A = this chain, B = another copy of it.
Amino acid sequence: MQDTYAMPGHLARRFQQIAVAVFLAEVDAAGYDLTPVQYVALAAISANPGIDQVTLAGLIAYDRTTITGVVDRLVQKGLVERNESSRDRRARELTATPAGRKTLDGITPAVEAAQRIMLRGLTQKEAKDLIRLLQKAIASSNELSRAPLRDPATA
């Protein structure tokens, strides 16, 4: 049996664990209070005003049931508005508020710094390779998770 420390599953958990910790530390140091999940959701909503929750979920590969709580918290923080859709009364239309867009602008440098920090042990070439390999592995197994990415560009 191979070394546990070399198993991709273990490495995935560790890398994600570190990525979240670095993200929260940088964002907090910049004076913001937003989780990685909330950030990605806010960015996607801001880029797609009026988006419904299922489409949003597919866009950022969340589970549908997780989205509800995430949006709840974004609404509670005043960063997002959730309104009943006029075309489909089942759906909710999500829009970033001015405060949401302002937060997004202000937080971006911290988010980018976090990305650099989590790769700080790698050379530029290694970092590019890692990103490429992760993207390739993820693309090949996208359908294996309950919340596959639904990229409108490739759908």
Q: Are A134 and B15 in contact (CB under 8 A)?
A: yes
Knowing A1-B108, A9-B114, A11-B131, the reply to whether A141 touches B22 (Cβ < 8 A) is yes
Q: Are A121 and B140 in contact (CB under 8 A)?
A: yes
Query: Is A38 an interface residue, CB under 8 A from the partner?
Result: no
Contact with B along A43-62 (1 / 0, CB 8 A): 11000000000000000110
When all copies of this chain in the complex are counted, the total is 2
Tell me, in angstroms, the Cα distance from A138 to B133 when the chains sit together: 16
Tell me, in angstroms, the Cα distance from A146 to B22 when the chains sit together: 10
Interface of A, secondary structure class, is helix
B-contacting 9-mer, from A69-77, A79-87, A91-99, A122-130: A122-130
Q: Are A21 and B133 in contact (CB under 8 A)?
A: no
Tell me, in angstroms, the Cα distance from A127 to B11 when the chains sit together: 12
Query: Is A90 an interface residue, CB under 8 A from the partner?
Result: no
Instruction: Point out the residue from B8, B21, B22 that lies within 8 Å of A119, measured CB to CB.
Output: B8
Q: Are B112 and A2 in contact (CB under 8 A)?
A: yes
Chain B residue nearest to A44 in the complex (CB) = B4
Chain A, range 1-40, C-beta contacts under 8 Å to B: 1-2, 4-23, 25, 36-37, 40
Query: Is A144 an interface residue, CB under 8 A from the partner?
Result: yes
- With A11-B138, A15-B134 given, can you name 8 additional A-B contacts, CB distance below 8 Å? A2-B115, A8-B130, A9-B114, A12-B19, A16-B16, A18-B145, A121-B137, A129-B129
